[in-house]
């Protein structure tokens, strides 16, 4: 087991594969990076430190260290940003168009420190004006967002806004909204299906059969079968078996070895090869072992598989799978 000298980590925040950490000295940061990179050879992190202005970008914010025990924040934008927004002339509900700008303004009030807030609001306003929006409407939205933020700050910290989501029904939804408002609930309405949703509801493209990872079964006309599991597409794994059989690489595949002494026809491209779609390794291995026992593909019954399944060794499962198989066979007959 690896042992490491303790690192003085003051704080650590992570979002997916990005993280932000604070240390008393830079040497601690380098030691912490070394610890992370020794966990797995295929997972290697890089490090970025504060620049000369004591600023560091993390996600969509710039974090400025005041060196006085506090941090200030402003919005960070990459240099490649185009500043192109949804045009007001586009075919969208005006509420959606206004909502785009409102979202940016709300983010500014939520993330920016006071001394960077006005700068961000001015940038947003000019950006949307350049994209064809009316300045008066933008100013009105900024005012409403500011008032809402002020009201939220004045509310007790334990106040929770109760929200009800309803479909929009002309003539009914407005009355329901007023009724819920009297009871202290905020009402939001779901958007109706658009033309695209209606036309494509029954025509969504589907992947071909055996296009997922999981547990699969390959049958032979001699009556025997092989059960396996794979993290690849099942069709890809079955093709690998078929190639091994064609090239005479018996040691690479139990099915290939079976074809060496059997004149039966292997159903390589059967649409029903997939038994269970499963991406998790442990779940695949357990399901594979149970299916081997259920379909009697193990050596005890002369099956193609060369073992009973490595992830279910408890003897309880074998008679249970035999009982299930016998029962299903009787029902079919």
Q: What is the pLDDT of residues 113-140, one digit of tens each?
A: 989 999 999 999 999 999 999 999 999 9
**pLDDT higher than threshold 50 for residue 1:** no
Point out the domain boundary residue: 33, 54, 75: 75
Is 181 found in the same domain as 218?
no
Is 248 found in the same domain as 184?
no
Is 60 found in the same domain as 40?
yes
The residues pairing with 311 across neighbouring beta strands, listed in sequence order, are none
Is 173 part of a structural domain of the chain?
yes
| Cβ atoms within 10 Å of 274's Cβ, excluding its own | 21
pLDDT for position 182? 87
| Cβ atoms within 10 Å of 208's Cβ, excluding its own | 8
Q: CA-CA distance, 321 to 292, in Å (whole number)?
A: 9
Is 322 found in the same domain as 223?
yes
Of the listed ranges 181-190, 196-205, 222-231, the one predicted with least confidence: 196-205
Which contiguous run of DSSP H or E holds residue 283?
A: helix 281-294
pLDDT for position 234? 93
Point out the domain boundary residue: 55, 75, 95: 75
pLDDT for position 242? 93
Is 195 found in the same domain as 280?
no
Burial 116-148 (b: 16+ CB within 10 A, else e): bbeebbeebbebbeebebeeeebeebbeebeee
| pLDDT level of residue 153 (50, 70, 90 thresholds) | confident
Q: Which domain holds residue 192?
A: 163-204
Q: CA-CA distance, 197 to 182, in Å (whole number)?
A: 35
Is 3 part of a structural domain of the chain?
no
Q: CA-CA distance, 324 to 330, in Å (whole number)?
A: 10
At 4-32, the pLDDT tens digits run 567 788 888 888 888 888 888 888 888 88
Is 4 part of a structural domain of the chain?
no
Mean pLDDT value across residues 38-60: 87
Point out the domain boundary residue: 75, 102, 119: 75
pLDDT for position 193? 74
**pLDDT higher than threshold 60 for residue 3:** no
- Crossing angle, helix 281-294 and helix 317-332, to 10 degrees? 60
At 234-258, the pLDDT tens digits run 999 999 999 999 999 988 899 999 9
Tokens representing residue 236 in the block: 């890809």
- 129 close to 136: Cβ distance less than 8 angstroms: no
pLDDT for position 313? 66
Number of structural domains the chain divides into: 4
Is 219 found in the same domain as 195?
no
Of the listed ranges 42-51, 64-73, 100-109, 155-164, the one predicted with least confidence: 155-164
Work out the angle at residue 190's Cα, subtended by the Cα atoms of residues 184 and 194, and round it to the nearest 5 degrees.
165
For the chain, the maximum distance between any two Cα atoms, rounded to a whole number of angstroms, is: 83
């Amino acid at each position: 087991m690896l042992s490491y000298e303790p690192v003085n980590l003051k704080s650590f925040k992570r979002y997916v594969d990005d993280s932000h950490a604070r240390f008393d000295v830079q040497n601690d940061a380098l030691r912490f990076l070394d610890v992370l990179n020794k966990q797995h050879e295929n997972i290697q992190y890089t490090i970025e430190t504060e620049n000369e202005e004591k600023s560091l970008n993390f996600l969509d914010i710039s974090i400025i260290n005041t060196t006085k025990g506090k941090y200030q924040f402003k919005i960070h934008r990459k240099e490649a940003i185009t500043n192109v927004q949804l045009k007001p002339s586009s075919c969208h509900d005006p509420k959606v168009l206004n909502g785009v700008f409102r979202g940016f303004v709300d983010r500014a009030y939520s993330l920016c420190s006071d001394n960077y807030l006005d700068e961000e609001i001015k940038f947003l306003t000019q950006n949307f004006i350049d994209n064809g929006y009316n300045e008066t409407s933008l100013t009105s939205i900024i005012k409403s967002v500011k008032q809402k933020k002020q009201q939220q700050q004045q509310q007790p910290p334990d106040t929770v806004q109760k929200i009800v989501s309803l479909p929009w029904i002309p003539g009914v939804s407005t009355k329901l909204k007023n009724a819920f408002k009297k009871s202290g609930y905020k009402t939001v309405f779901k958007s109706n299906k658009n033309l695209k949703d209606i036309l494509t509801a029954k025509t969504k493209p589907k992947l071909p059969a055996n296009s997922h990872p999981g547990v699969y079964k390959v049958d032979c006309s001699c009556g025997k079968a092989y059960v396996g599991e794979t993290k690849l597409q099942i069709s890809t794994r079955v093709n690998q078996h078929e190639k091994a059989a064609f090239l005479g690489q018996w040691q690479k595949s139990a099915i290939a070895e079976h074809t060496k002494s059997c004149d039966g026809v292997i159903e390589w491209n059967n649409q029903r090869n997939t038994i269970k779609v499963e991406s998790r390794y442990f779940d695949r291995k357990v399901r594979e072992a149970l299916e081997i026992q259920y379909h009697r593909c193990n050596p005890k019954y002369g099956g193609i598989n060369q073992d009973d399944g490595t992830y279910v060794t408890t003897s309880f499962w074998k008679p249970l799978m035999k009982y299930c198989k016998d029962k299903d066979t009787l029902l079919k007959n």
